């Protein structure tokens, strides 16, 4: 079973590879494929629950999907997202919510968005024995403040990354950051950086599984589709409909004497 230490020790040696997962079956498939970590992201809200953005996702929804995902994972490190307003509130409440995610789902670490402003919260979580992954660059929970899903180019991200490293994170997501800046951040911190739309110089990569499989409508510049999932599934269902309507399903073998 991989741990936060496994991930930390991979920096500079081998690329770290992770994907999101939100349920038991997909987690089992992804875990068996040999990923280093699985991540129950709050992207759950957009890809599984049909919300417009990640803001409505609740702690209870994360716990529900986190538990299901946990049952499918044997080897990969399981990390779970803290949803909007489950932190950046009173530090005691943030630590309690992080603790609930760990205790009730069986995940090994939490991830939260933000820079210097969450450093004290992260320190308090680590004092409570909860490992934390950071997330800077495009932070989707701040979508109204940022004003859209835009590439984040500010050099100050280097200082934000260092502040999170000092607070004790074991790794750091860089989302939608130009590749040169991501490289500078990767060189500036001793913890591994995991890119999503942040170029190839990060210590690892993560993608949303539904994007990779072509299940989502959205076509993101930084995401490679390894399957045209919508098309493949629709074609399988059309074949099923046709078989039933034409009397081709079920056959004699697909029933009982
Ligand atoms: O919620 C999510 O899926 C994320 C990405 C960084 C993978 O935060």
Q: Is the pTM of this model over 0.85?
A: yes
Ligand 1, atom 5: closest residue by C-alpha: 41
Cα 152 to Cα 183: distance, rounded to the nearest angstrom: 14
User: pLDDT at position 218, please?
Assistant: 85
Q: Which residues contact 140 (CB under 8 A, 6 or more apart)?
A: 42, 43, 53, 54, 113, 149, 175
Average pLDDT for residues 34-48, to the nearest whole number?
98
Alpha-carbon distance of 127 to 239, in angstroms, equals 56
Residue nearest to atom 2 of ligand 1 (CA): 41
Return d(Cα 122, Cα 139) in angstroms, integer. 16
Please report the pLDDT score of residue 219 as a whole number: 87
Domains present along the chain, CATH in parentheses? 4-226 (3.20.20.60), 228-257 (no CATH)
pLDDT, tens digit (0-9, with 9 covering 90-100), for 112-132: 999 999 999 999 999 999 999
Q: Supply the mean pLDDT for the chain.
A: 98
Question: Is 175 a known active-site residue?
Answer: yes
pLDDT given for residue 62 in this prediction: 99
139 Cβ below 6 A of ligand 1 = no
Both structure tokens of 4: 């936060």
Share above pLDDT 90 across residues of the chain, in percent, rounded to a whole number = 99
pLDDT digits (tens, 9 = 90+) for 195-228: 999 999 999 999 999 999 999 998 899 999 999 9
**Closest residue by CA, ligand 1 atom 8:** 41
Q: What are the DSSP E strand ranges found in the chain?
A: 16-20, 37-40, 77-81, 109-111, 132-137, 171-175, 193-196, 204-207
Q: Predicted confidence band at 108 (pLDDT cuts at 50, 70, 90)?
A: very high
Residue 179 confidence (pLDDT):
98
Q: How far is the CA of 43 from the centre of ligand 1 (A)?
A: 6
What count of Cα atoms within 13 Å lies in the side-chain half-sphere of residue 125? Answer: 35
59-80: average pLDDT: 98
Average pLDDT over residues 35-61: 98
Confidence (pLDDT) at 190: 98
To test the pocket of ligand 1, the residue of 43, 132, 133 to mutate (highest count of ligand atoms within 8 Å of its CB) is: 43
């Amino acid at each position: 079973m991989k741990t936060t230490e496994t991930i930390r020790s991979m920096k500079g040696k081998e690329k770290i590879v992770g994907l999101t997962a939100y349920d038991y079956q997909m987690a089992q498939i992804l875990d068996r494929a040999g990923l280093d970590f699985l991540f129950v992201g709050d992207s759950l809200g957009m890809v599984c629950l049909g919300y417009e953005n990640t803001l409505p996702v609740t702690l209870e929804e994360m716990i529900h999907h986190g538990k299901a995902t946990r049952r499918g994972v044997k080897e990969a490190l399981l990390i779970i997202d803290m949803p909007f307003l489950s932190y950046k509130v009173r530090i005691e409440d943030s630590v309690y919510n992080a603790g609930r995610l760990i205790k009730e789902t069986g995940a090994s670490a939490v991830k939260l968005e933000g820079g210097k402003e969450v450093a004290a919260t992260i320190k308090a979580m680590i004092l409570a024995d909860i490992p934390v992954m950071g997330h800077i660059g495009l932070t989707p929970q701040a979508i109204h403040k940022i004003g859209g899903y835009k590439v984040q180019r500010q050099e100050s991200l280097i200082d934000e990354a260092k502040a999170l490293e000092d607070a004790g994170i074991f790794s750091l997501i860089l989302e939608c950051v130009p590749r040169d800046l991501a490289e500078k951040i990767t060189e500036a911190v001793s913890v591994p950086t995991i890119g999503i739309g942040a170029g190839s110089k990060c210590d690892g990569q993560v993608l949303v599984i539904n994007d990779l499989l072509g299940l989502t409508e959205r076509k993101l510049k930084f995401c490679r589709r390894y399957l045209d999932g919508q098309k493949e599934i629709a074609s399988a269902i059309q074949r099923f409909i046709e078989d039933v309507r034409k009397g081709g399903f079920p056959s004699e073998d697909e029933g009982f004497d």
